[in-house]
Structure 1
Amino acid sequence: MFSIRRMKILAFGLAAAVAIGACDDSGTDPDPQPPAAPGGVTATLSGADVTVSWSASSGATSYRVQRRQVGGGAFADVAASVTGTSYTDTGVAAGNTYQYQVIAVNADGASPASALAEIAVPAENRTAILNGTISGTRQLSADTTYTLQGIVTVEDGGILRIPAGTLLLGDAAVQPTALIVRTGGQIFAEGTETNPIVFTSSRPAGQRVAGDWGGVVINGLSQCNFPADECVGEGSSGQYGGTDLADNSGVFKYVRIEYAGFEVSFGNELNALTLNGVGSGTELHHVQTHDGLDDGFEWFGGTVDATHLIATDISDDSFDYSTGWSGNGQFWIALQNPDDADTGFEVDGNEDDFDAQPFTNPNVWNVTLVGKGVGGQGGTAGESTIGMLLRRGTGGTVMCAIVTGFGTAGLDVDNPETVGRLTVGSSILFSNANDLSTDSDGFQATVWNAGAGNQIADPGLADPFDRDAPDFRPAATGPAATGCPAPPANSGLETVDYIGAVDPAATTPWYMAAWTRWGDPNAG
């Protein structure tokens, strides 16, 4: 018979044996149980962020959330210890596509990764107001649409940088609205052929009209042929001018300016692009002004060079230069508004003193000016009148121009001071109401006949009056195919054989590119 003491000893031994048998030699559980992979993983947008959600895994104590950019390499943790079943990722970038996976974790280990959840984060539609003054460096971003409100100025020492692809809206509800670069300030508006910078109206497309906002003004420290205290820009745009002919106001390339121009007061207007005393250190090319209320391009003095310019559907003058501008220009195109326009060129020396120096004295090569229609007919009477109006003592050279379709005359020259300084050569007038003006002074005939290589002949432009897809290429065997002399060696201009702004042999003309706009001026 067992004693009670012996029974207790046996019971203790049995319990110990069971406990020992439950362990291996290392004292650890031989069958660890990590959780299963989470299921039901989804990724959804939460504003600018992504929220990842999943179903709970049995036995999990936490979760790891991993992300990779599609096409961007391996997964990496974005959250290492999530205790719930969702996580909001705030580190995503607009315009990218991401994949997510979730791993469940407990004391025994980690699960396999879940199935993938993929999501595209759309490009952001950011907006910002641009107003007041810029005195330091202001860097804009192409992923933001900027609304210019009121007069925005880049002050002396200030720098405004605008990257390719940026859209800027002139506020049609706040007048006048304009961007003005003061003397000593700089603008670096650097678009590309496929990704231009666009200034346009804040109105919805289809409702935009000329004059919705003021435009862009650049004031430099180069020459002006008025007394210094009278070198003041139109539209209350400020003082300009000086003696620094190489003044550098920055870079302005592959830019389009639409629906600009504003009359501050009678005879005091803002143009689409105004260049006041801008120096030769400034880079300016591939710019289009479209559907502007006043001039498309206007120079008051300065020495800046300007190539590959387009003025379309401008209500006043397509190109207007005066006040001593003596830069170099090449490859300019104007397609006039048949119902609301003035001249293709309006060129002056000095409106108060025809002998004021420095003279307006540029080299302008390879120009195509297209008026309202064949024979100067069509559109509204009294509009798109003169192709080139050259007067008030201007000098300089206009070479290799084609002028066609104007309602009054192709060429009009005024004032005897102009005749002695101006050269027009190797140019073609055709199908204007009058190729040479019929006014009584006869100066246009004097200048025209003195210029070598001038012709009144059909250049064979393919389709210059098509407003949606104009073709300004001259006939390959016509009078414009050859005959353009080389520009001055120090001008920096290209030497080409053809007359006009467009190569007759071009497969795709330079003006039919992603940075330009063509079409009905009333389309908005």
Structure 2
Amino acid sequence: MNTRLSMLLLLCWPLVSHAQNVVTITDADIGPGDQVTWTSDNIYLLDGFVFVEEGATLTIEPGTIIKGKPGTGENASALIITRGARIYAEGTPERPIIFTAEADPLDGSFDASIRGQWGGLIILGRASTNLATGEANIEGIPSTETRARYGCVPGNNTPTPIDDCDDNDNSGVLRYVSIRHGGSNIGADNEINGLTLGAVGRGTTIEYVEVFANEDDGFEFFGGTVNTRYLVAAFCGDDAFDYDEGFRGKGQFWFAIMPPDGGNRAGEHDGGRDPEDGQPFAIPLIYNATYIGSGASSGNADNNVFVFRDNAGGKYYNSIFTDFGNLGIVVEDLEGIAVDSRQRLEQGDLVLAHNLWWSFGAGNNLADIAPQAFVQQHLLANNNFVEDPMLRGISRESNGGLDPRPAPNSPALTRPRAAYPAQDPFFTPVEYLGAFGPDDLWIKGWTKVAQLGILTGLKRNATETSFPVMLYAGSPNPFRSTATVAFSLNQRQHVRLAIYDLLGREVARLVEGVRPAGTYHIPFDGSHLAAGTYLVRLETPSGVQVRTLTRLP
């Protein structure tokens, strides 16, 4: 690790006092009806499955660190908020609440490749699902554990018994919470998600939550109606966002970035499992997502944006999907069977509108992104564009190259947007596509993506447009053969844009000459270069700016 990065991590990493006590928490420590507070002067170590039982409330102070012991099967560690219990975990941007592995020293040495070191956070509610029985045991917990039930008995509307239905069920608050390095395996194809939400109701508040380097999915919704905002799924080993069993919540400002060495879909969207045509259908409503895949050149054939199957619907508006190893979307179309996700699309329950799609391993033609003709027709009819969103930078390394905000003149700022639902206070109307505006990098500071130095340190504010020159990180970064380097000028001036190796030798000159004001995207073919880190240097009379660019083997 170089000195500059080490200093950056030391400056931005939350400090853990050596005087903090480590308090081991077992399942016996929180009983039914207990009122428990975890404070920031302790580190809490989960030893096994810890259930917050019916009637109990767990309050976690800002800045508190919770760690989980390693283990698999019945020896895994996880925190489970059961039906009828509540969690109030309200951090701040300066003092997030962190869930991580026991071995994580919180000094930046646990990177995005370290997954599956403990379980995760599970919240169970009694909102409705489309299961035939109405309730079930949650995935990731042994099926013999009766406290792991979620959902409700259909037809019950009076929330008195624990299994009565209540779509307004309240399981508490999660705000500025980072869940890291989880996903223990408890059996074949049965890992714990970073944040599992089983039949959680819309009375629950979930916003500003990061799942970082989970072995399985980042977020998974099993039915329910919970509404969520400002979610981050970063470098998870399976899917970023997964829903099924009739999930019908709302979402806004969802962000995913997938690892270069794995990751499947940004959105694995299923309708029902028993039966597939069970009601209510899964039809969540999502605005302003930005999903970044494993890299168009990653060679990851499993890395698609979406699969919709098992009669799933769902609606995505005003979003950006880019840099995936394979293709964009597959919609289940079962021959001879009317009840499938194609039916949901044709009946208006599956909608993709006013979105940008760009940079796919399969190609950048509509037929490459969406190989099914009926999906192509839908995308064309609903203002979807195959167009570079001009994000400021894509990186998956600790080089400060990730900046998912749109650059000036990005189509994310100029393309038409879908209207937001009228008189719905949940949604915040914004004048851009994707999860980030040009002035709003809401993942800075509190996320591990920022603390590892993956995220740019560049701050943009209202005065940035007065800067005479702005050099953006290359995209994709890292790259295998080709990349694009972008820069902006607010006035006509002489520009020299070149790439150097770490010995200071120029390896490519991209621009030399006078350029008028505007934003430029310069293609760069680095296939002849050795793998390693290079410096992109922009020199003008206004000054010099440098960014790093990494070539993969």
Unaligned runs of 5+ in 2: 1-16, 143-147, 153-164, 334-341, 455-553
Distance change in 2, residues 1:437/1:308 (3 Å): farther
Partner of 2:387: 457
CA contact (8 A) 2:193 2:218 kept: yes
The reply to whether residue 256 of structure 1 matches residue 185 of structure 2 is no
Q: What displacement does 1:417 show?
A: 2.5
Q: What is the alpha-carbon distance in structure 2 between the residues aligned to residue 123 and residue 210 of structure 1?
A: 25
The amino acid of 2:288's aligned partner reads: N
Match of residue 496, structure 1, among 402, 420, 430: 430
Q: Secondary structure at the match of 2:140?
A: helix
Partner of 1:297: 219
Alignment of 1:263-342 (within 5 A): 263-342=185-264
Partner of 1:166: 64
Distance change in 2, residues 1:463/1:414 (3 Å): same
Partner of 1:517: 449
Q: What is the alpha-carbon distance in structure 2 between the residues aligned to residue 333 and residue 487 of structure 1?
A: 19
Partner of 1:239: 149
Partner of 2:278: 356
Q: What displacement does 1:465 show?
A: 2.5
Q: Secondary structure at the match of 1:449?
A: helix
Partner of 2:53: 155
CA contact (8 A) 1:138 1:159 kept: yes
Q: What is the alpha-carbon distance in structure 2 between the residues aligned to residue 515 and residue 433 of structure 1?
A: 29
Q: What displacement does 1:474 show?
A: 1.3
Partner of 1:433: 361
Match of residue 127, structure 1, among 11, 17, 22: 22
Q: What is the alpha-carbon distance in structure 2 between the residues aligned to residue 204 and residue 450 of structure 1?
A: 49
Partner of 2:311: 393
Distance change in 2, residues 1:211/1:234 (3 Å): same
Distance change in 2, residues 1:152/1:382 (3 Å): same
Q: What is the alpha-carbon distance in structure 2 between the residues aligned to residue 293 and residue 424 of structure 1?
A: 28
Q: Between Structure 1 and Structure 2, how many residues are aligned?
A: 393
Q: Deviations over 1:137-196 (max 9, x none)?
A: 111111000100100000111111111000011111573111111111111111111100
Q: Secondary structure at the match of 1:517?
A: helix
Deviates more, 1:218-227 or 1:431-440: 431-440
Q: What displacement does 1:355 show?
A: 2.2
CA contact (8 A) 1:486 1:496 kept: no
Partner of 2:373: 442
Partner of 2:519: none
CA contact (8 A) 2:131 2:273 kept: no
Q: What is the alpha-carbon distance in structure 2 between the residues aligned to residue 236 and residue 283 of structure 1?
A: 24
Q: Secondary structure at the match of 2:442?
A: coil
CA contact (8 A) 1:330 1:367 kept: yes
Partner of 1:382: 301
Q: Secondary structure at the match of 1:226?
A: coil
Q: Deviations over 1:291-312 (max 9, x none)?
A: 0000000000111110000111
Q: What is the alpha-carbon distance in structure 1 between the residues aligned to residue 284 and residue 408 of structure 2?
A: 29
Q: What displacement does 1:236 show?
A: 2.2
Q: What is the alpha-carbon distance in structure 2 between the residues aligned to residue 337 and residue 124 of structure 1?
A: 35
Partner of 2:530: none
Percentage identity across paired residues of the two chains: 34
Alignment of 1:98-247 (within 5 A): 124-133=19-28, 134-135=30-31, 136-173=34-71, 175-205=75-105, 206=109, 209-228=114-133, 230-236=135-141, 238-242=148-152, 243-247=165-169
Q: What is the alpha-carbon distance in structure 2 between the residues aligned to residue 387 and residue 365 of structure 1?
A: 15
Give the structure with higher Rg (CA).
Answer: 1
Distance change in 2, residues 1:327/1:207 (3 Å): closer
Q: What displacement does 1:229 show?
A: 5.5
CA contact (8 A) 2:300 2:326 kept: no
The reply to whether residue 344 of structure 1 matches residue 266 of structure 2 is yes
CA contact (8 A) 1:414 1:444 kept: no
Deviates more, 1:173-182 or 1:298-307: 173-182
The amino acid of 2:441's aligned partner reads: P
CA contact (8 A) 2:132 2:278 kept: no
The amino acid of 1:387's aligned partner reads: V
The amino acid of 1:388's aligned partner reads: F
- For normalisation by structure 2, the TM-score amounts to 0.68
Distance change in 2, residues 1:267/1:176 (3 Å): same
Match of residue 350, structure 2, among 422, 440, 444: 422
Q: Secondary structure at the match of 1:405?
A: strand
Distance change in 2, residues 1:440/1:333 (3 Å): closer
Unaligned runs of 5+ in 1: 1-121
- For normalisation by structure 1, the TM-score amounts to 0.71
Q: Deviations over 1:392-418 (max 9, x none)?
A: 222231111111111111222223223
Q: What displacement does 1:123 show?
A: 7.6
CA contact (8 A) 2:51 2:81 kept: yes
CA contact (8 A) 2:52 2:81 kept: yes
Alignment of 1:65-104 (within 5 A): none
Match of residue 397, structure 2, among 447, 462, 467: 467
CA contact (8 A) 1:366 1:499 kept: yes
RMSD: 2.1
The amino acid of 2:78's aligned partner reads: A
